[in-house]
Homo-oligomer: A and B are copies of this chain.
């Protein structure tokens, strides 16, 4: 076996162990929340020795960060794709809401993590997840700007509206979880987008 292949294999093996640790951490995170994430348990869950964790990560925080990243990755990717393509702005908002609702319906434990993550976020500058959050605010704000430019939406502070929109989504997610997920996702998603686009006002 030549050196290149050897190195390749090694790299794969490493990636494999690293992923295993991360998977264990994510499982733990979804099961017991951030408080339940101890190095002992991560090691046990991943089936490696405690010391091994420190071979792949410098400390607990790094594992936590990576696990959080990985947890939200499917959502992030989906939302990203959605915002990237060429649907009309109003459609994008509805689909954005739909994605959110679906994601948390299936992973309701993550809502806790989501909020907690923000708590961590604000205690430490330049946190990755934080950046990601604000990146989404930016992008939704871009969608709104696009709608404004197209004359679809009224001119307004699109950044604030974007933040509002994202949070409003979380509000409905919490409502759904709190109430045992009543009502179908599509209807709720439409309502979110609707209120944002049409408002509550009855124009008869």
Residues of A bordering B, CB below 8 Å? 32-35, 111-113, 115-116, 118-119, 122-123, 134, 137, 144, 147-148, 151-154, 156-157, 159-161, 163-172, 174-175, 177-179, 183, 188, 191-192, 194-202, 204
Hey, which chain B residues are within 8 Å of A161, CB to CB?
191, 195, 200
Contacts A196-B199, A201-B152, A201-B199; is A165 near B157 (CB within 8 Å)?
no
Minimum Cβ distance to chain B for residue A148 (Å)? 8
Tell me if A119 and B116 are in contact (CB < 8 A). yes
- Cβ-closest chain B residue relative to A147: B200
Can you sample 9 A-B contacts with CB below 8 Å?
A112-B119, A113-B119, A115-B118, A148-B202, A151-B204, A160-B191, A160-B192, A164-B192, A199-B199
Residues of B within 8 A of A196 (CB): 195, 199-200
Query: A152 — which chain B residues lie within 8 A by C-beta?
Result: 200-202
In the complex, besides A33-B119, A153-B200, A164-B171, 14 extra interface pairs with C-beta distance below 8 angstroms are: A115-B118, A154-B198, A154-B200, A156-B191, A156-B195, A157-B188, A161-B200, A163-B172, A164-B168, A164-B169, A164-B192, A167-B168, A195-B196, A198-B201
